[in-house]
Structure 1
Amino acid sequence: MGVKRRLPAISYVRLENFSIYRERPTVEIDIRDGVFCLAGANGLGKSSFLAAVNFCLTGIVTHPERDSFSSMRKFYQDSLSYSRTFFDGRIAELDRDSAEVTVHFTVGRRKYELTRNLFEPQSLRELIVVDDAGQVLNQDTDDDEVRHQDYARLLVEDCRLSKFEQFVFLQHFLLTFDERRHLLFWDEQVMTPLLYLAFGIDADDARLADELTHAVNRAESRRRNAQWQATSARRKMKELGGDAVDESLLDGLLEQHQALSEAVDQATKELTKLQRDAADARLDHANASAEYQSLKHQYDHLFTRRLRSRSAPRLHPAVAESLKTERCSVCGTHGHQVALNIEERLDTNHCPLCASSFTPETEIDTSIDSLKEVDSELAEAGEQVKAAQARRDRIDKEVDAALQVYNDKVQQLEAFDTENEKTLPTVGSGLVGLLEQRRVAESERMHAMERRDEWARKRDTARRELEPLQKALRVAYDEAEVDFVPNFRDLARQFIGLDLDVFLDKADRTRFILGLEVQGTRRRATTTLSESQRFFLDIALRMALVQQMTEDETRSTVYIDTPEGSLDIAYEAKAGAMFGKFVFSGKNIIMTANINANQLLRRLAEVCRSENMQMLRMTEWATLSEVQASEEALFDEAYSVVESILKSAAPTEGSVLA
C-alpha cells in the first residue's frame, strides 16, 4: 500500500481589516467538522474569502489567466509576484499594513495557528504549532520570513510530502474548486503530478517524476526549436549561395540576446503599468482633495452663519465663556450670580449685554444637525485624502524602482550588443558581405544541429529515468483501483444518476490522465458534456481523490466556490446529495453559495442537518446593491427556509442519499 497523505482540516478563520467587507471588515468564524457554507449574494466577496484562506495557507493566489502548467516549483515561483498585488483594491490603502488573515487547522494530531499579512506571501506574523501533548514545535523567532520557512518545514513533514511546493500544488489544484473553474479531467499537465501524489508514490519520487516530466518536455521543445533553426539556416544558405564555411558562433549568444530583449520588454511593461497606476493615483488624490476642500468650505460657511445668527446669543463666544467661567467677559465681575443673571435673561429671550429681546428661530437646531453632518463627511473625506496620498506615495516609489530596473536592463542589452556586434552582424546593413552572411548561416545551421542532438540526448536520458516511476504509478493505481473507482462512481452517481467509469490512460510518453466513461462511451473532450456535468463530475473526482490519498481516520477540507449558476433545477438537489455523501465519508467542505430558492442548499441541509452543517449569512458584511437591498426580504425568506431544515430532526444518511 502506498503512502497516505494528511491534509489540513480548518477549524477557525479570522479576517482583520478586510476592507472589501465594508460593513464588517473584521470577521471571526469557528468552523465545525462537516459542511461550512458561506451564503451570500453576487458581488459580496464570497470568492475573496476562499482566496484569503488559501493565501494564508500557501502564500499565493492562483492567476486566473495562468499559462499552461509545467511543474510545481515553477507554478509556485511564478505565482508569487501576482499574489503580492492580488489584494490591491480589495484592501484600502490605509489598511495595507494591518490587513491580516488568521487560520487554525489540524494536520493529523498537530494543531497549527498562523497569521499572514495579505501583502506578504513569504512571511508569517504569527505561528504556533503544537502536538497532541501540547508541546510547541516551531522555533521562537521574531523574523517573519524564518517563521514562514519553519511553517513550511513542519507542514510538509505532517502532510508526508517532501517540498512546500507540493502542498501549494495540492491546495490550489486538488482541494480548491474556485471561480477559475479549472477542470482536472481534461488537463494532463496538472493531472500527471497529481496522480503521483494521490496514489501513494513516495513524496521524493513524486517530486522527481514532476521534475523529470518537466525536463523531458522542455528538452523536446528545445530540440524542435533547434531543428527549426537548422532548417531555417539551410533555407537561408540556399538563397545566398556561395561556399560552405566551417565556422561557428559563440554558443548561446542568440539565446542570451533573446533573454535580454525579453527582460527589457518585461521591464517596459511593468514600468508602463506602474506609470498608469501613478497617474490614476494622482487623479484620485486630486479628486479626494477637491472633495475635502469643498466640504471644508461648506462647514466654514455653516459655522460662520451660525455664529452671526441673532437667534443664538447663547453660542456667542463671550456669552459661552462667561457661562463656563462665571466671570463676565465684559466687566470682569466674578461669581455664581453672573451666570444666573445671564441664564435669566437668556431664558426670557433677552440679550445678556443690551437686554434687547430676540425671537428664537427653529433653524438653530437644523443648523446644528447640518454642522454635525458636514463634520462627519469632512472627517471621512480627510481619511480618503490620507489614503489617496499614501497610495500615491507608495506607487511613486514603485515607479522609481521600476524605472531603475528598466534602465539597468536597457544598459545590459546595449552593452551586450556592443560587445558582440562583430559576432552577430545585422543582415542588410551593408557592413556584411554576401560571403560573410553565408558563413554565418552555415555556422547557425551546424550549431542548431548540435543543439538539436544534445537536447535529444537529454530528453532520452530523462525519459529513461522517468520510466521506473511511471511503472510504479501504474502499479499503485492498479492496487488502489478497487477502492478509488467505486468511491468516484458513488459520488458521481449522486449527481448525474448514470453509470460511470474512470480509467488511467497515457496522454503522451510522459503524461497521464484519468479518462471518463459515461454509459459505456469515453468522453475525451469537454464539449461532450454539459457545463454543469463537467463542473460537478470534476468536483466528484476531486472528492474521490481526497478520499483515496488521505487516511480514513483524519479530516481534511476541500474548498468549493459552488458553480450553482450552471445547474438546472433537475440537478440542484443531486449536487447537494453528492456533497452530503462526501461529508458522511468523514471529510469537510468549506463552500460558498448564493442565497436563493434553489434546491442545492436545501438538499444539503436535509442530508447534513445542523449536526453536520453550518450556514453563515454574509449579506451583512458588505453593502448590498440597490437592486439587492430592495429585495432583501427574498434573501431573508430563502435563508429562513434552509435554517428551518437544518434545525429539523436529522434523518439517517441512507434515507436521504438513497
Structure 2
Amino acid sequence: MHSSISFPILEHFHVHEYGLYPGKPDRPGLQLTFRPGLTLVVGTNGLGKTTMATMLFRMLSGPHDLSHQTLNATELGGQSLDEIALPARQKAMFADRVSDRAATAHAELQFRLGESRVVVKRAIKNLSLMGLWVDGKLVGNKEGDYQQHVVTCAGLSSFGDWLMFLRQLVFYFEDRRSLVWDASAQRQVFRMLFLPPTAARDLYTKEREILKLDSGIRNTNAALGRLEARVDEEERKRTDSQDVLSQVRSLQPLQERDLEKQAQLVSEVNDIDEFRRGLRRQLLEAEDRASRLQEQLEDGRLQIIHSQFPSKSETAKYLLSLLMLDGKCAVCSEESPGFSATIESRAEHSMCVLCGSPAHVEGPETAAPKFESLAETRDALERARVRAAELQSELRAVSESYDNRSSYMLKLSDEVSARDKLLTSLIKSLPTDDEMQLQAKKELIGLRHSVDQDRARLEKLTKEFEATAQNFDRSVFQRVEQIKRAFNRYAKDFLFEDVALKWTPQVRQVGQLQTIETSTFDLDMGGTDFGVSHRREGPSAVSESQREFIDLAFRMALIEIAGEGKGGSLVIDAPESSLDAVFVERAAEVLCRFGQPSSTNRLLITSNLIDGRLLPDLIRLGVPPAEKRDRLLNLMDVAVPTAAVKAVGDKYRKEWENILIQGLGQ
C-alpha cells in the first residue's frame, strides 16, 4: 500500500511590486498567511481574485503545464502526461495586466511538502525561478531542481503527475475534469495517489507503450492495405496489358496527326483574326469618311439655298434642301436623275427650284459655294460609299471563314482532349517493370511480418499491462470503502438526496485493438420520480449545484484518504456562481468542516461580495475573531480600485461590514 503521498500545505504568499496589488503603506503588496482551516479572499469584479488564484497555481507549476491536447482529450489516459514549456504569451499572462509589464514584480510562496518546508520565488513577468529554498537552505534557481524536489517530496513519479495533481485535486478551477463521471481521470488520479512512484510510472509507461504500438500497427496496416492493392492492380494490369498496348499504338498516331492539325489551325485562326480586325478598322474609317462627306454636301446645298432665298424661313430653306438630297425624290424617295438635274440647273442659274422663276436676288449676303465644288464632293461621297460597301462585303466573308475555322478547331480540340485522357488512362494501366513489382512484393512480405511481430508484442504487453492494472485495482480497492465513507460524509450534507459511490467493474478499451477489465467509481443518487437511487450516468444527469458539490465532495474525500491525516490544500475560485439558495448554509458548513481551524488542511476560497448567507456563514464557521486579520482579505484594501469601486466603494465597504457583523457578531 502506498502511504507516502503528500499534498502541498500552503503557509504564506507575498506578491511584491505588482501594479495590480499596491497594498497598504504598512503592508505593501498582497500578503496571505494560511492558517490551518479557512482563508477567505473577497472583492468585486476586476480586482484580481481569479488572477491571485491563478498566480498561486503558477507559483507551484512554474512556466510549464500539460499540453492542450492532454487537458482537453476525451480519454485523459490516452494522452502524454509529459510537461511542456508554456508559450511566451502564457508566460506573460500577469505582465499583460499591468502597465509596466511587471518589470520588477516578484512573488514568494512558502509551503510544506512532506517533511520539507519550501520557499519558491518567481518573477511575475515570465514565471522564471528566482530562488528555491528548502528547509531554509538556498538550493538554486534552476527549474529542474524545483521540479525534482517537489516530485520527490510529494511521492509522485514525474513532474507531469505533479501538474495533474495540482489541476485535479488542489485547485478547483472551471476547466477541471469532473472526476466522478470521468473514468480516465479517476484512473490517473488513483494511479498518482495509491501507487508508489515506481509502480505509478510503470503503469503509465506500459499504457503509453501499448497506445504507441497500437497506433503503429494501425498505421502499418493502412500502408499494408495500400501496398496490397497496388501489387494486385499490377498483376491485373499484366493480364490485360496486350489489349491495352494495342489500343495505345493505334491511338497515338491519330493523336500526333490531330495535334499537328490543331497547331496549324491555331496559326490560321490567329492570322484570319488579325486580318479581320484590320478590315474592321478600314470599314470604320470608310464609313466615317462617307459620313463627313455627306455632312459637307448637305451643308453646301443649304448655303446655296440661303444665298438665293435669304428672306425665307429656316424651315422653308430646309425643305428646299431636301429636294436636292442625293438625286432622290423628297416625297417618294425614288431615284429621279432628270428631276435632280433640273433642280440643280435652276439653282445654278438663280431660278426658283420649284417653278423655275427668276429668284430676284439683289445680292447674296455671303459667298455661296460653287456647283462644281458640290459635284466634286458628291463624287467623293459616292466613292467612299462604294469602298465601305466593298469592305463590308469582304469583312462578312472573312468573318464567316473565321467562324467556320474556329468551330472546327473547337471540335478538334475536344477530340484531342478526350483522346489524351483515354491515352493517359491506358498508359497508366500498363504494368510497371518486373523489378519494381518484385521489390513491392518483397516489401509486402516485410510489412506483413512486421505487423505479425507487432501484434504478438501487443498481445504480450496487453497481458502484462492487464496484470499490472489488476494489481492497481487491488491497491485502490483497499481504499474504496474509506473513500465511499468520506464521500458520503461530505456529500450527504451538501445534498438533500441520498447519494453513494459504487465501485463498478467495466471493460475498458486500450487503444483501438485491445480491451482489459478494470474498475472505477460510478454515482447512484435518489430524487426525481424513480423513488429509489439510480445510476447518474453523466454530469448532465444532475443539476448544476449538485454537480459542483458532488465533484467537490469527491475531491475532499480523496485528499482526506490519500493524505492520511497529513492534510492538504484546496483552492476554490468563486463557488457562489453555482449555488442555489438552499445550498448556501449546507455548503458553508461542509466547506468549513474540511477547512476547520483545528485541521491540518488549508482551504482558500475567493468570492465576490454577494448577498445571502454564504460569506457570513463561512466567516461564522471558519474564522475565529482573533484570527480575522490573517484569515480575511478584502481586495479593495490592497488592489487598484476599479471604476465601480471608485464610484460606489462606500456601498461595497458597508456591505462588507454587514457581512462581518453577521459572521463575527461584532
TM-score, normalised to structure 1, is: 0.61
Q: Match of 1:13, as an amino acid?
A: F
SS at match of 2:2: coil
CA distance in 2, matches of 1:178, 1:621: 23
Structure 1: segments with no counterpart, 5+ residues = 131-135, 246-426, 650-658
Residue deviations 1:126-180 (CA, integer Å, cap 9, x gap): 22211xxxxx5554x5xx22xx333333333332234333222211222111132
Q: Specify which of 205, 217, 225 is matched with residue 223 of structure 1.
A: 217
Q: Kindly indicate whether the alpha-carbon contact (under 8 Å) linking 1:609 and 1:645 is maintained by their aligned counterparts in 2.
A: no
CA distance in 2, matches of 1:563, 1:64: 25
Kindly state the Cα deviation for residue 624 of structure 1 after the two structures are TM-superposed: 4.8
CA distance in 1, matches of 2:547, 2:657: 31
Kindly state the Cα deviation for residue 483 of structure 1 after the two structures are TM-superposed: 1.8
Kindly state the Cα deviation for residue 244 of structure 1 after the two structures are TM-superposed: 9.4
In the TM superposition, 1:201-212 aligns within 5 A as 201-212=195-206
CA distance in 2, matches of 1:208, 1:83: 35
Residue deviations 1:408-464 (CA, integer Å, cap 9, x gap): xxxxxxxxxxxxxxxxxxx99x99976379889878866664554444344333323
Q: Kindly indicate whether the alpha-carbon contact (under 8 Å) linking 1:83 and 1:119 is maintained by their aligned counterparts in 2.
A: no
Q: Match of 2:192, as an amino acid?
A: L
Q: Kindly indicate whether the alpha-carbon contact (under 8 Å) linking 1:37 and 1:592 is maintained by their aligned counterparts in 2.
A: yes
Q: Specify which of 492, 513, 522 is matched with residue 515 of structure 1.
A: 522
State the match for 1:478 in structure 2.
Answer: 477
SS at match of 2:179: coil
* 1:502 lines up with 2:497 in the alignment: no
* 1:78 lines up with 2:84 in the alignment: yes
Q: 1:567 to 1:86 in 2, by over 3 A?
A: farther
Residue deviations 1:221-272 (CA, integer Å, cap 9, x gap): 3333433444455556667763699xxxxxxxxxxxxxxxxxxxxxxxxxxx
Q: Kindly indicate whether the alpha-carbon contact (under 8 Å) linking 1:61 and 1:82 is maintained by their aligned counterparts in 2.
A: no
CA distance in 1, matches of 2:153, 2:238: 63
Kindly state the Cα deviation for residue 527 of structure 1 after the two structures are TM-superposed: 1.5
Kindly state the Cα deviation for residue 105 of structure 1 after the two structures are TM-superposed: 1.0
CA distance in 1, matches of 2:441, 2:76: 34
The count of corresponding residues between Structure 1 and Structure 2 is 454
Q: 1:501 to 1:219 in 2, by over 3 A?
A: farther
SS at match of 1:182: coil
Q: 1:31 to 1:442 in 2, by over 3 A?
A: same
CA distance in 2, matches of 1:216, 1:82: 34
Q: Kindly indicate whether the alpha-carbon contact (under 8 Å) linking 2:95 and 2:102 is maintained by their aligned counterparts in 1.
A: no
Q: Match of 1:47, as an amino acid?
A: T
Q: Match of 1:113, as an amino acid?
A: V
Q: Specify which of 115, 118, 123 is matched with residue 117 of structure 1.
A: 123
State the match for 2:653 in structure 1.
Answer: 636
Q: Match of 2:170, as an amino acid?
A: L
* 1:487 lines up with 2:486 in the alignment: yes
Q: Specify which of 531, 548, 556 is matched with residue 543 of structure 1.
A: 556
Q: 1:513 to 1:447 in 2, by over 3 A?
A: farther
Q: Kindly indicate whether the alpha-carbon contact (under 8 Å) linking 2:20 and 2:48 is maintained by their aligned counterparts in 1.
A: yes
Kindly state the Cα deviation for residue 51 of structure 1 after the two structures are TM-superposed: 1.7
Structure index of larger Rg: 2
CA distance in 1, matches of 2:550, 2:489: 11
Q: 1:434 to 1:181 in 2, by over 3 A?
A: same
> More displaced, 14-23 or 638-647?
14-23
Q: Specify which of 553, 568, 572 is matched with residue 580 of structure 2.
A: 568
Kindly state the Cα deviation for residue 183 of structure 1 after the two structures are TM-superposed: 1.6
Q: 1:221 to 1:529 in 2, by over 3 A?
A: farther
CA distance in 2, matches of 1:624, 1:43: 9
SS at match of 1:640: helix
* 1:193 lines up with 2:205 in the alignment: no
State the match for 2:410 in structure 1.
Answer: none
Q: Kindly indicate whether the alpha-carbon contact (under 8 Å) linking 1:186 and 1:526 is maintained by their aligned counterparts in 2.
A: yes
State the match for 2:455 in structure 1.
Answer: 456
State the match for 1:597 in structure 2.
Answer: 611
CA distance in 2, matches of 1:532, 1:440: 65
Residue deviations 1:353-398 (CA, integer Å, cap 9, x gap): xxxxxxxxxxxxxxxxxxxxxxxxxxxxxxxxxxxxxxxxxxxxxx
Q: 1:5 to 1:442 in 2, by over 3 A?
A: same
CA distance in 1, matches of 2:439, 2:103: 57
Q: Match of 2:579, as an amino acid?
A: L
SS at match of 1:580: helix
Kindly state the Cα deviation for residue 22 of structure 1 after the two structures are TM-superposed: 6.8
SS at match of 1:598: coil
Kindly state the Cα deviation for residue 73 of structure 1 after the two structures are TM-superposed: 9.7
CA distance in 2, matches of 1:531, 1:444: 57
Q: Kindly indicate whether the alpha-carbon contact (under 8 Å) linking 1:104 and 1:113 is maintained by their aligned counterparts in 2.
A: yes
Q: 1:229 to 1:52 in 2, by over 3 A?
A: same
State the match for 1:583 in structure 2.
Answer: 595
CA distance in 2, matches of 1:210, 1:108: 24
CA distance in 2, matches of 1:615, 1:244: 86
TM-score, normalised to structure 2, is: 0.60
SS at match of 2:177: coil
Q: Kindly indicate whether the alpha-carbon contact (under 8 Å) linking 1:185 and 1:516 is maintained by their aligned counterparts in 2.
A: yes
Kindly state the Cα deviation for residue 469 of structure 1 after the two structures are TM-superposed: 2.7
SS at match of 2:236: coil
In the TM superposition, 1:291-306 aligns within 5 A as none
Residue deviations 1:578-617 (CA, integer Å, cap 9, x gap): 2112123542211211111133223222322326872211
Kindly state the Cα deviation for residue 543 of structure 1 after the two structures are TM-superposed: 0.8
Q: Kindly indicate whether the alpha-carbon contact (under 8 Å) linking 2:7 and 2:113 is maintained by their aligned counterparts in 1.
A: yes
CA distance in 1, matches of 2:78, 2:57: 16
CA distance in 2, matches of 1:432, 1:120: 61
Q: 1:540 to 1:240 in 2, by over 3 A?
A: farther
Q: Match of 1:212, as an amino acid?
A: K
In the TM superposition, 1:221-620 aligns within 5 A as 221-234=215-228, 242=236, 435=432, 449-450=448-449, 452-505=451-504, 506=506, 507-508=508-509, 509=515, 513-519=520-526, 520-552=533-565, 554-584=566-596, 586-610=600-624, 614-620=631-637
Kindly state the Cα deviation for residue 645 of structure 1 after the two structures are TM-superposed: 3.8
CA distance in 2, matches of 1:92, 1:431: 66
CA distance in 2, matches of 1:128, 1:72: 36
Kindly state the Cα deviation for residue 71 of structure 1 after the two structures are TM-superposed: 6.0
Kindly state the Cα deviation for residue 104 of structure 1 after the two structures are TM-superposed: 0.5
Q: 1:442 to 1:209 in 2, by over 3 A?
A: same
CA distance in 1, matches of 2:110, 2:538: 40
State the match for 1:302 in structure 2.
Answer: none
Residue deviations 1:629-648 (CA, integer Å, cap 9, x gap): 44434432432233224424
RMSD: 3.6
